[in-house]
Structure 1
Amino acid sequence: MSDENPFLEQPIEFAASMAATGGSCDAQSVLPVGDHYRCTCSCGAWTYEAGDIDEGLRRVRAHTSHV
């Protein structure tokens, strides 16, 4: 792993800091699950099942555009 990318080196610390945001839309994820992608937001109020990663990224951007 690269020393220049703290997100790759310390994912637990990153996830913990995002969990402590108190419902803010500070971090989103688009993760492969079987034949689809699960999209979630740190606000805890939004999830989406996308057919492909591009759709997932579009939906994440749409979700955060209201912030």
Structure 2
Amino acid sequence: MTLDRIKRGQRCRILSLPSESIRAQALRFGIAEGEIVTCSEVIPGGPVIISKNHQEIAIGRGLARQIEVEGSI
């Protein structure tokens, strides 16, 4: 499953990030493969907002389609 398919309030584990540059950017926000995040909001046609450690991060829909997750954690 990909990040763009999760629902609001659902927790998921990040399985893979699409590239080294995206992985480096995600690490700056404390998100790496294996991390568990919660979907705070899904904007129709817009970004997916995830939260971890009281921090919310908006991830564009195109990028969210490339991030593999394991849902319902």
TM normalised by structure 1 equals 0.29
Higher normalized strand content (fraction of residues): 2
Higher normalized helix content (fraction of residues): 1
Q: Which has the greater radius of gyration?
A: 1
TM normalised by structure 2 equals 0.28
